[in-house]
A = this chain, B = another copy of it.
Amino acid sequence: MRIGELAERTGTSSRSLRYYEQQGLLATRRTANGYRDYDESDLRLVHQIRELLAIGFGLEETRPFVECLRAGHASGDVCPASIAVYRRKLAEVEECIDRLTSVRDHLRDQLDRHEAAAEESTCRSRHGRG
């Protein structure tokens, strides 16, 4: 299949596919006229990339998964290198969640504090002291 079809079937753009190729993630064959030519294995490969990107992986982090698929494995995540990336990413995500959680708590505190102040001011005005 040609690049347009692959793009459509993977929910991405031709531009991105060329970029993945440029990054060495997609080894592309060419037809006689110079058009890129893809098959079902490329489809799976790009699907894998897109799924990982969608959950926040960087393109570079998808490489082990891609290579795992290329090595003939049915799934991109059965290879040690992929597992290692999973672990690393899990740690990153957990740390990020922790940070965001404390930010969230901080924001809630600020809002609560302000709400309390507004409440009190309403109260004062209701009692003719504002």
Contacts and interface: CB of A to CB of B under 8 A. Distances in A.
A1 interface: no
B93 A104 contact: yes
A86 interface: yes
Contacts of A108: 90
Contacts of A110: 77, 86
A87 B106 contact: no
A56 B97 contact: no
Interface in A79-130: 83, 86-87, 89-90, 93-94, 96-97, 100-101, 103-104, 106-108, 110-111, 114, 117
B56 A114 contact: no
Given A77-B114, A78-B114, A100-B96, A55 B86 contact: no
Given A83-B114, A114-B83, A104 B78 contact: no
Given A78-B114, A86-B110, A114-B78, A55 B93 contact: no
A94 B105 CA distance: 10
